[in-house]
Amino acid sequence: MRKNILFITRWYPNRVDKLDGNFIENHARAVSLYCNIAVLYIGADPGMSNRLYDWEVEKEFGFTVIRIWYRNNDVSAKGLGRVIKLFRYIKATQLGWQLIKKNFGMPDVSHVHIFTRPVLLALYLQYKYRIPYMLSEHSSHFVHNLPVLLPPLKWFAQIAARQACFITAVSKTLQQAMLSFGLRGNYIVVPNVVFVQDSSQKTMAEGEAINIIAIGSLTDPRKNIKGLIEAFTRIHHLIPAARLNIIRPASNQSLHNIELANDLLNKKIFFHDYLSNAEVYRLLLQSSFLIVNSLSETFSMAAAEALACGKPVVTTRCGGPEEFIDESSGILIDTHDEIQLEQALIRMCNEYKLYDAEKLKKFVCDHFSEEIVGKKLLGIYEKILSPQPS
């Protein structure tokens, strides 16, 4: 019999951010292959002005998705304003739970994504209905910049972790970072879901420019896009056929701190703003290789998606990527090493055609496909629900 699984999350694609938590959506799609699933997303909408709460109930990929928004633009982000927002979140959670009962029914397991607020409903369901819960964390804050929580909030997070039947992290790096933060529990590494792309779609043709792809915001120091631009600017004359394409998550970011590249903008350096997943995949399919110049990553969806398109990757040893990138799929370099970065860019421009695209795709199929990840999560649910020895 298919089990009923409730995803409770603070990140999920929604009207405020269409790409928010799309990796959680991919996990839901994987689980839906083997279980009945509903998703409850609760988040703030800074654009709401005529109401305190709004919601929608949709069928997406064959399962129920309920989104609840609450207003947060009329109170301060500090002091009393934070308390008011917490109470609005709790009220939104109550509304969401009523809609879940009406449209989905009682879950067998609550699967919470992202600390800490979504745990509130899971704890209530555990206390009220004896519904067990598990946690999945995806945030890079634990790896790059540990969250600063007031002692009561940190204690709550630690208690919630201990109460969970299992905790999943997308990489060993993230698991270790969470343990260092004091979140003890039964950990299992479950990677992100990556969809392999149709090999019949257009890829690079012989003789075309060498298209290098990078994904990240100029305002996010963790992605170190500025350092990549500066390195490319220094060596572009050594790789005259190369073009650097930077995919940014938003279109209103200023091109600050890239004075060195001014002469190359729209000539050899190009920006692509706020692309959908399909558009990102289209650019990857037309690329030569991907560069990840991050200072920290928990997994690196960009690196895995490049492999899914049959493209090799140059990446820093920044946490997540080195757990699945090796010499057969790309080049690993140290963070903060400009010389290695420049050398790797030049080398990959000369060698990217030597990588076996079908082997790269097969690796993704064998490790990150929705079938593989879905079965792994199903196994965890079965362990949670299996009778415990007395």
- Cross-strand pairs, 89: none
* pLDDT category of residue 256 using cuts at 50, 70 and 90: very low
pLDDT tens, position by position, 347-379? 999 999 999 999 999 999 999 999 999 999 999
pTM given for the model: 0.87
Q: How far apart are alpha carbons 385 and 292 in whole angstroms? A: 40
Task: Provide φ and ψ at 255, rounded to 5°.
Answer: -90, 55
- Both structure tokens of 340: 């290695």
Is the pLDDT at 207 greater than 60? The verdict is no
Measure Cα distances from 288 to 73, 196, 226, 361 in Å. 44, 17, 21, 15
Q: What is the CA radius of gyration of the chain?
A: 22
Q: How many CB atoms lie within 10 A of CB 124?
A: 16
210-367 CATH, one of 3.40.50.2000, 3.40.50.300, 3.30.980.10, 3.20.20.140: 3.40.50.2000
* pLDDT category of residue 199 using cuts at 50, 70 and 90: low
Q: What is the mean pLDDT of residues 325-345?
A: 97
Angle at 222 between CA 250 and CA 298, to 5 degrees: 100
pLDDT tens, position by position, 135-189? 999 877 777 665 656 567 788 889 999 999 999 999 999 999 899 888 999 999 9
Nearest to 4 by CA among 28, 27, 29, 38: 38
CB-based contact 284:311 (threshold 8 Å): yes
Where would I find the beta strands (DSSP E) of the chain?
Answer: 4-9, 36-44, 53-60, 63-70, 109-113, 133-137, 167-169, 187-189, 210-215, 242-248, 269-273, 289-292, 313-316, 330-333
CATH 3.40.50.2000 fits 4-193+369-385, yes or no: yes
- Cross-strand pairs, 312: none
Domain ranges of the chain: 4-193+369-385, 210-367
The residues, any chain, with a CB within 8 Å of residue 371's CB and separated by 6 or more, are: 30, 33
Q: How far apart are alpha carbons 307 and 223 in whole angstroms? A: 19
* pLDDT category of residue 19 using cuts at 50, 70 and 90: confident
Measure Cα distances from 225 to 21, 206, 293 in Å. 22, 28, 7
* pLDDT category of residue 257 using cuts at 50, 70 and 90: very low
Which amino acid, one-letter code, is at 129? Y
Angle at 291 between CA 285 and CA 292, to 5 degrees: 120
Q: How far apart are alpha carbons 387 and 265 in whole angstroms? A: 62
CB-based contact 341:323 (threshold 8 Å): no
Q: Which of 105-114, 146-155, 206-215 has the highest mean pLDDT?
A: 105-114
Task: Say if 4-193+369-385 and 210-367 have the same CATH topology.
Answer: yes
CB-based contact 231:342 (threshold 8 Å): yes
Q: Is 228 helix (H, G, I), strand (E, B) or coil?
A: helix
Percent of the chain with pLDDT over 70: 91
Q: How many CB atoms lie within 10 A of CB 51?
A: 10
Angle at 258 between CA 340 and CA 307, to 5 degrees: 50
Mean pLDDT over the full length of the chain = 90
* pLDDT category of residue 205 using cuts at 50, 70 and 90: very low
Long-range contacts of 56-59 (CB under 8 A, 24+ apart): 57/99, 57/103
